[in-house]
Amino acid sequence: MNRRFFKASITYLFLSSFFWQAAKCQDEKKPGILFCISVKADPSVKSEFDKLFQDWKKIPSIKALHINQEAKQPEQISSEELMKDYKKAAFNHLVIVGEKGKDPLLEKVWGFETLIAPENKTFYSQGWGHLKGDLALVESDRNPFLHSSSIDRASFETEIFKISGTDKKGVILGIKAFKQGLLNGLIAGAELSRPEKTLLDLDPARSPLPPALPPSVLETENGEAILCGWNNIPANEYRAYLDFGGKEPISVCRFKYLLPGALKEAGLKGWLEGFHRMAFGNSLTEAEFSSPPEAKAALDAILKDKRWSRNRGENEIWHSPMPNDEIMKNIDGNIYLCCSGARLLFCSLPERQSLQIFESYGKVKR
């Protein structure tokens, strides 16, 4: 009797452990969305943060993650508390709001591209240059906690959204810009100057909204591709047009779409589908030039590259294979290109959806 009881107990413990581990793995395959702020945040910033959290269904990127990536409903957590739980930070999407130097979580993930000195409200980043005054900063990327040495294996991607600024006014501007759809870029406040000039200076936008938006939803074979935000591109990329097309645009904006299950694979594919400003997977890049002839001249120069082919059945649309090199290997799909007035449009969505976007610009007739 005792032996039977012992065997049954062992079996029960084994099965309990098995199902607990299975449930744990299943839970890690469905990340949550954590809104993070320091317990020491300025009351005015905390008030706007609370409003942002309450309106999460109106934030394009968060709404898209919840719908297309099956992310769980957002929760609030303090930056200090999350710093104690590395796995929780890794296996969830993070929205981090705070002032530079006043939030331990923000400091942990700050990175190396941007310098802010809160004591004199100065900012520097290559492609934007030196700025001083009230300035909002929004940056998005894959979650660095997930890709650290502390995590053995990542079977999917999680994303991070950093909202900061040169002071509390800048942070509040950033919160409002992120809510409207900005994924990466700067927003200028009322008082802004440029104390020093560089070769790659670009003035930040005054409004987070671009002049016009492409379609917000595109139907695909696997479900809806949702417009989840846009990026204000720094001057570095403007010079690339000058190098390859002989003309420099006056503005560049990259719109990002999120397809169902796009982040279910970690690594390069997940990064391309994610929210970094240079992640060109399933995106529309709009480069506007000073005039239609300038845009046409840039197009003619770009098409000298033999990788571009005229799209079948479309006289003014071209396509090229996705770029591949020693790092980006075996990237499937094409980039579609057309000229619309003073704008060049580059779209990396599937062909049907790319043509649908071009149609919204009046370039494809049905």
pLDDT tens digits, one per residue of 187-199: 999 889 999 999 9
Residue 12 has pLDDT above 50, yes or no: no
Confidence of residue 89 (pLDDT cuts 50, 70, 90): very high
For 205, which DSSP code?
B
212-228 pLDDT per residue, tens:
889 999 988 888 899 99
Residue 341 burial (10 A CB sphere; 0-12, 13-18, 19+):
middle
In this predicted structure, what is the pLDDT of residue 5?
A: 43
Q: What is the pLDDT of residue 185?
A: 96
Residue type, 258: L
For residue 286, what pLDDT band results from cuts at 50, 70 and 90? very high
Q: What is the pLDDT of residue 190?
A: 87
Question: Domain 210-366: which topology?
Answer: Protein Transport Mog1p; Chain A (3.40.1000)
pTM here is: 0.89
Q: What percent of the chain has pLDDT over 90?
A: 71
Distance CA 149, CA 38 (A): 25
Query: Which three-class secondary structure state does DSSP give residue 50?
Result: helix
| 19-77 residue pLDDT tens | 334 334 434 568 999 999 999 999 999 999 999 999 999 999 999 999 988 889 999 99
**Per-chain mean pLDDT for the chain:** 89
How much is the pLDDT for 3?
52
Q: What is the 3-state secondary structure (H, E, C) of 229-272?
A: EEEECCHHHHHHHHHHHCCCCCEEEEEEEECCCCCCCCCHHHHH
345 CB contacts (<8 Å, ≥6 apart)?
284, 285, 286, 337, 338, 339, 357, 358, 361, 363
Integer Cα distance of 185 and 84 in angstroms = 30
Report which of 342, 355, 235, 358 is spatially closest to residue 297, judged by C-alpha positions: 342
Q: Return the pLDDT at 146.
A: 94
What stretches of 29-126 show up as alpha helix (H) in DSSP? Answer: 43-54, 60-68, 79-82, 86-90, 104-108
Where does the chain show beta strands of DSSP type E? 33-37, 75-78, 93-97, 114-117, 122-125, 129-142, 159-165, 182-193, 217-220, 223-232, 251-258, 283-288, 309-310, 317-321, 334-340, 343-347
Show the DSSP H helices in 246-348 as ranges. 268-273, 292-302
Average the pLDDT over 251-275 and give the result.
Answer: 91
pLDDT at residue 363 is higher than 90: no
| Residue scoring higher pLDDT (191 or 256) | 256
**Cα angle for residues 215, 181, 219 (degrees, 5° grid):** 30
Q: pLDDT value at position 20?
A: 38
Determine the topology of domain 30-203 in CATH.
Chitobiase; domain 2 (3.30.379)
pLDDT in tens, 130-167: 999 999 999 999 999 999 888 888 888 999 999 999 99
AA letter at 310: R
Amino acid at 259: L
* pLDDT score recorded for residue 364: 60
Quick check: 82 and 88 in contact, CB under 8 A? yes
Q: What is the rounded CA–CA span in Å between residue 361 and residue 359?
A: 5
Task: Give the torsion through C-alpha atoms of 227, 233, 239, 242, to 10 deg.
Answer: 40
Average pLDDT over residues 290-297: 96
Q: How far apart are CA 316 and CA 292, in angstroms?
A: 14
> Mean pLDDT throughout 343-358?
94
Q: How far apart are CA 256 and CA 259, in angstroms?
A: 10
The domain segmentation of the chain, as residue ranges, is 30-203, 210-366
- What average pLDDT does the segment 260-281 reach? 89
Examine domains 30-203 and 210-366 and report if their fold is the same.
Answer: no
CB count in 10 Å sphere of residue 153? 5
